[in-house]
């Protein structure tokens, strides 16, 4: 890794879900390598990547979106974060006790563009059955005691109230990506 290069966590929204927007991870990794990115790693089939590049975050997102559209013929929002931010997301989880009990019930929501002010409070108005939403620095955290699949806090509602495409990862995935980042830094 040169001094100009940075490690990014890159998340694709809505791939390989219910048989839609299929992108094999092997082909996605190869696509990223074809863009000149290095140290490309993926985690599970839902579009979680680590990449090293000298590209800026915004150009990385745009470049991968365009490459996916050309290669797979689908339009997928790509949301990237600098690796350095990931440990802050983990450390600042307001639902750490719930995550310890069941990490599949705690979510990290990342938006493509800055989150609209007050989005967490507006989302909380739609919460039911003990659900909670809290704002982080540039992310939202959610606690879904009955599971996210049955929640009224839908992806479309997140997008609308946040003002941008949003992708959500459960806490188990957040921690695994954090572990992968630590191993990459060695």
SS3 67: helix
**Fold agreement (6-85, 87-183):** yes
pLDDT at 185: 65
pLDDT at 183: 87
To which H or E segment does residue 53 belong?
strand 48-53
How far is 177 from 150, CA to CA, in rounded Å?
Answer: 25
- Structural tokens at position 93: 């989880």
CATH of 87-183, one of 1.20.950, 1.10.150, 2.60.98, 3.30.70: 3.30.70
17-to-24, 45, 67, 168, 176 alpha-carbon distances in Å: 12, 9, 20, 13, 20
For the chain (length 186 residues), average pLDDT per consecutive 10?
83 79 91 96 91 95 96 94 95 96 96 95 94 95 93 93 95 96 78
pLDDT at 3: 60
Domain ranges of the chain: 6-85, 87-183
| CATH fold label, 6-85 | Alpha-Beta Plaits (3.30.70)
């Amino acid at each position: 890794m040169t001094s100009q290069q940075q490690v990014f966590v890159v998340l694709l929204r809505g791939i390989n879900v219910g048989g839609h927007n299929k992108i094999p991870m092997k082909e996605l990794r190869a696509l990223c390598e074809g863009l000149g990115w290095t140290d490309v790693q993926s985690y599970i089939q839902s579009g979680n990547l680590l990449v090293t590049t000298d590209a800026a975050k915004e150009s990385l997102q745009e470049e991968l979106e365009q490459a996916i559209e050309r290669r797979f013929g689908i339009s997928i929002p790509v949301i990237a974060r600098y690796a350095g931010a990931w440990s802050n997301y983990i450390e600042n989880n307001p639902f750490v006790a719930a995550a310890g009990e069941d990490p599949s019930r705690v979510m990290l929501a990342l938006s493509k563009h800055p989150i609209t002010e007050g989005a967490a409070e507006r989302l909380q108005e739609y919460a039911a059955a003990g659900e909670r939403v809290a704002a982080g620095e540039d992310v939202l955290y959610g606690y879904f005691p009955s599971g996210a699949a049955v929640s009224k806090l839908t992806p479309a509602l997140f997008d609308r109230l946040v003002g941008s495409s949003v992708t959500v990862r459960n806490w188990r995935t957040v921690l695994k990506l954090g572990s992968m980042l630590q191993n990459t830094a060695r």
